[in-house]
Copies of this chain bind each other. A is one copy, B any other.
């Protein structure tokens, strides 16, 4: 018998005591966590839920499930240009999938490893959480900081600004497609992109003060661009040929399907930013230092709406689409 408190202690307590500089005055193990945000910073918070068979395949590797649940949440901090500091994890576990305790321990240890490894990579401390039973669901709350007034938002784009994306697109949809076809070699580059996305935190910080608007691409480029356009009250002209497609995707599915994946597949967790044309070269140089490409894919226009893509490409990820709710 593994009680809830043992579970939490064993896998989710921070491996080492938090340091004073970490801003954690009281960590795991009390009713709540006490944090000391830094003076001159705004607190940047977001929550993301990952549900089995909705956001990830139920048979995905546990390591990837832990990594991915945190990555998609951190991606929102990246989009604000925030430095990540702390997170909370609400884990709902379906005990019925474990036929024996060895299997359960293995799953949990792999899951925790995926989660903690990404935490360490981004100096993020797991400061609290909750473990309950039910259908596997992971809610991650992330908290970061940004100097007051310096956060990137969705609403600052101006007509004439360049539209650019970090990295390459289409890997999320391409990886999901491969997984559905039975590919299980997790070292496959497309599966890496789908199952182990890297939140663009360093890129977000580097683009702070340069980009006029930013958001992350989680629902698909066009769907997310629509949010940015609405918030900024601009239109967009997209240059289809400029879309940076993830390596190997065109070879796998053909050019048309690859572009469709890039436009509306979702799950890419790249940053979508707008920039004054004069700042594009500076932004590209800053990201080049991090080894991250930044590709101009279009331009903001005064005329609302989108040009350069067919209406059929304009379908984003909607949890409730097609359902009469």
In the assembled complex, the Cα of A29 lies from the Cα of B79 at a distance in Å of 13
Report which of B46, B133, B139, B324 forms a contact with A1, defined as CB distance below 8 A: B324
Indicate whether A80 sits within 8 Å of B2 (C-beta atoms), given known contacts A47-B130, A49-B132, A151-B26: no
In the assembled complex, the Cα of A324 lies from the Cα of B153 at a distance in Å of 47
In the assembled complex, the Cα of A36 lies from the Cα of B54 at a distance in Å of 34
Rounded to whole Å, the gap between the CB of A132 and the closest CB of chain B is 5
Contact A324 B134 (CB under 8 A): no
Contact B51 A134 (CB under 8 A): yes
Copies assembled:
2
Query: Which residues of chain B are within 8 angstroms of A252 by Cβ–Cβ distance?
Result: none
In the assembled complex, the Cα of A98 lies from the Cα of B320 at a distance in Å of 13
Contact B92 A51 (CB under 8 A): yes
Rounded to whole Å, the gap between the CB of A207 and the closest CB of chain B is 13
Select the residue from A33, A49, A133, A231 with max chain B CB neighbours within 10 A. Answer: A49
Rounded to whole Å, the gap between the CB of A274 and the closest CB of chain B is 14
Contact A43 B35 (CB under 8 A): yes
With A25-B151, A47-B141, A132-B319 known, 7 other A-B pairs at CB within 8 A are A1-B320, A3-B318, A4-B318, A31-B154, A35-B45, A45-B88, A47-B139
Closest 6 A/B residue pairs (Cβ): A139-B139, A32-B46, A51-B134, A31-B79, A135-B135, A35-B43
> Chain A: residues with CB nearer than 8 A to chain B?
1-4, 7, 25-26, 29-37, 39, 42-49, 51-52, 54-55, 76-77, 79-80, 82, 86, 88-90, 92-93, 95, 98, 100-101, 104, 127-135, 137, 139, 141-144, 146, 148, 151, 153-155, 214-216, 231, 318-325
